[in-house]
Chains A and B, each alone.
Chain A
């Protein structure tokens, strides 16, 4: 059994798992859109690829969960390369609409492939995603993102976002870096999708539509583009708000829409725009730094719940 599983009431555990998965997904998108500035409106497509791949791996080939997760991430990354290679030379909104288009195409194709169940989708995926596993993966992804951010690679990505021509003139092969970044972002999305698949147990193409991509994008923008703590906060807030607003059933999405507008007007750079873990650390805010919490060192992997 996992270290964290069963400590909390099942409802909270379920929400925390969802939050964790969304943090992972949002961090992947933050790398693409926040750090490198390439607007991606089709992030859910890569999540979808990861989810389907891992589900097939678990169900048809009986692979261990870790293999299924990695396979999901890798195939999503491979698709990221295939899609990214021709499209990443487009800029701004043209890239955005291409990523959106790919998402819709993928959905449309999945409806027509009987091998993955068409509209009925895949069902009976073993529920292997536990809070412990999500937490471990999330911590790994957060640490990776922090490391990327403060590396030569991360600086190159920000340079591309800030001024692509100046970046090229300073020795950065923008096309190559964008492609690497895009596939890394897609890899993370694929992993998030794999965790999702093994929590929800059922996959249908319509779960991964444009709205899902927008939902993840909202998390990144709300938290503050390019800011890792911001993205984590954004994912947490936006995943919990609908849960908190649960009782206003009919008015919930109405409020959600209004909240987005208000947020952008009063705080266009997001809740924590420009805040990084390093800057928090520098200010002595040790309690927000990853690795400080006692639960950060899980002794063993949780299997099954």
Chain B
């Protein structure tokens, strides 16, 4: 049984078909990369999986549950966490609080709990802090916990997003261009981090532009072009696929 399954998923924006009956399967414990030229619909797939857009047609199944029509916060609770292509942190909040927010779906204190500050709430708050610190440590950001997120350098902001996503104890982690804008040392660190996350038992689904990065880290690669899936297989298979080469280098090659 695959962890996540997309079955003929389609989404239309007006006249534009951004994702065109895509089938995709993610097995537990693998690192799957989704690649494709600009505007191929990669991020849209993420937005479909995380419930930001409802698909026009097709079904998305996660651990035998249909995700169609479920809200983003619900999907997060089911065990899917994500990062964003154009970093979406909570800029005014301190780094630690950003990660604490990520823990939201695994805690349950209500408004009244917050007002009364019962022992249970206090204990939960402590646990949240503990978990948040662990996640920061994992991404190597624990020394910056009190800084406002907006003051972090770009690469650290990307890592902070991953830390925030990790705080919800996800089973499936969606990373949208995690290496974008990083230099090669930073990328090397990132590869290590992602691999160790996979080794913790998580499944990683990532969208990336950087071929070297993708080919080095992925167990499997899927390719999107104009909203359609044109290839799916091991990194070496995909690299040799003529459709993929055409999509990247231009149609006239075919």
Contact = CB atoms under 8 A, between A and B. Distances in A.
Interface of A: 144, 147-148, 151-156, 158-159, 162-163, 165-174, 180, 184, 226, 274
Given A169-B73, A171-B168, A174-B73, 17 more contacts: A151-B125, A152-B124, A153-B111, A154-B114, A155-B104, A158-B92, A163-B89, A168-B51, A168-B72, A169-B84, A170-B73, A170-B76, A170-B81, A171-B76, A171-B102, A172-B73, A226-B92
A165 B52 contact: yes
13 contacts: A152-B104, A153-B110, A153-B111, A155-B93, A155-B97, A155-B100, A158-B97, A162-B90, A162-B91, A169-B76, A169-B82, A171-B168, A172-B105
A126 to B, nearest CB: 29
A34 to B, nearest CB: 11
Nearest to B114: A151
Contact of A172 (B81, B104, B106): B104
Given A169-B52, A172-B104, A274-B92, A148 B76 contact: no
Nearest to A181: B111
Contacts of A174: 73
A148 B114 contact: yes
A168 B117 contact: no
Nearest to B167: A170
B169 to A, nearest CB: 11
B49 to A, nearest CB: 10
Contacts of B93: 155, 158-159, 162
Contacts of B82: 169
B115 A148 contact: yes
B50 interface: yes
Contacts of B51: 168
B151 interface: no
Contacts of A162: 89-93
A171 B52 contact: no
Interface in B78-109: 81-82, 84, 88-93, 97, 100-102, 104-107, 109
Which of A151, A171, A172 is the most central at the interface, judged by chain B CB atoms within 10 Å of its CB? A171
Given A159-B101, A172-B104, A152 B125 contact: yes
B121 interface: yes
B101 A155 contact: yes
B209 interface: no
B96 to A, nearest CB: 10
A89 to B, nearest CB: 13
A171 B107 CA distance: 10
> Interface range on chain B: under 10, 10 to 19, 20 to 34, or 35 or more?
35 or more
Nearest to B93: A158
B111 A148 contact: yes
A180 B113 CA distance: 13
- Per CB-CB distance, the 6 closest pairs between chain A and chain B, nearest first, are A171-B105, A151-B114, A162-B90, A166-B88, A168-B72, A171-B76
B63 interface: no
B4 to A, nearest CB: 16
Contacts of B125: 151-152
Which of B81, B100, B111, B165 is the most central at the interface, judged by chain A CB atoms within 10 Å of its CB? B111
B198 interface: no
A147 B90 contact: no
A170 B93 CA distance: 15
B131 interface: no
A40 B91 CA distance: 23
Contacts of B77: 171
Contacts of A167: 90, 101
A159 B90 contact: yes
Which of B52, B74, B84, B88 is the most central at the interface, judged by chain A CB atoms within 10 Å of its CB? B88
Nearest to A156: B104
Contact of A169 (B72, B106, B109, B115): B72
B204 interface: no
Contacts of B101: 155-156, 159, 167, 170, 172
Contact of B88 (A151, A165, A274): A165
Given A155-B100, A168-B72, A169-B76, A180 B88 contact: no
B71 interface: yes
B105 A166 contact: no
